[in-house]
Amino acid sequence: MQIAIVGAPMDLGAGRRGVDMGPSAIRCAGLGMQLQMLGHTVTDYGNIGSSEPETIAAGDPTLKYLDPIEAAAIELAQRTAAIPPEAITVVLGGDHSISLGSVTGAVEKHGQMGCLWVDAHGDFNTDATSPSGNIHGMVLAALAGLGHPRLTGIGGFAPKLLPEHIVILGARSLDQGERDLLHQYGVHVFTMHDIDRHGLPAVAEEALALATAGDVPLHVSFDIDVVDPRDAPGVGTPVPGGMTFRDAHLVMELIAETGALRTLDLVEVNPILDHANQTGELATDLICSAFGKRIY
């Protein structure tokens, strides 16, 4: 395969500093080399620009750092859309607000897409429901056309994703407001309760079938905090009771088997909170599993 890597060192959408170093942590864990060892052709397009919270004002407390997040999303959308369509694009975060740009660019290039959102959180708040005002918790709703027009309108069109083509996998922390919106708009949600009750293989296979229904190409947005903090300590919003190391790898292996993957975000690696780049190395291994790495 041809694989394009783009870094998005965004640290404005979350509540804790450090995720801007996520792309470096994943690259330092040897992502490009490991993908090449699997036989792929890899091109690293570098990083988009970013601002630091210490140098700018947060602005509206219900939409913190809206201006620079919007600007970064527009730049990332343009960068992603310009990558040749035959290359599968991997975007390294950065906080989850980067998906505003990566999904916009992917849809501009590939047309209607299905989305598998692998995350401990729903990210389906709006500025009217968010308890924090952090935009990384609003991004999926914005991609579905809900929320502030400056978020929904990035790229000049909305929605980017149809709710029936969105599947959340691994959720274990949902705010009441986003829970109501998820029900209202019919987004498919598979929580850790579903995984515990029915088993990860069956749930993940059903989630992928829903996300790729109609043979649409697949965007995967993988927030590393879906993994239990014992295996992924370097995250800003850890929630106990997540997927195990092997669970996460199986999800990525099943994604690879679909052959539908066109774009992949790997977000929320926070080296400041990590132990000897344990989470950065896990992120690298997971990306490789999505591109065919197997035990045997």
Which residue numbers are catalytic? 96, 119, 121, 123, 136, 223, 225, 268
Name every residue whose Cβ is closer than 8 Å to that of residue 127 and which is 6 or more positions away in sequence.
Answer: 60, 62, 63, 133, 138, 147, 148
Terminal C-alpha separation, the chain = 20
C-beta pairs of 185-192 under 8 Å, 24+ apart in sequence: 185/144, 185/146, 187/124, 187/144, 187/163, 188/164, 189/122, 192/241, 192/242, 192/243
Q: What is the rounded CA–CA span in Å between residue 178 and residue 166? A: 14
- Helices assigned H by DSSP within 84-167: 99-110, 139-143, 149-152
Chain Cα centroid distance, residue 268: 8
In this structure, what token pair is assigned to residue 130? 């968010």
Query: Which residue, chain included where needed, has tokens 């929605």?
Result: 159
Strands (E) located in 94-217: 114-118, 166-171, 188-191
Phi/psi at 125 (5° precision): -80, 165
Written as one letter, the residue type at 161 is: L
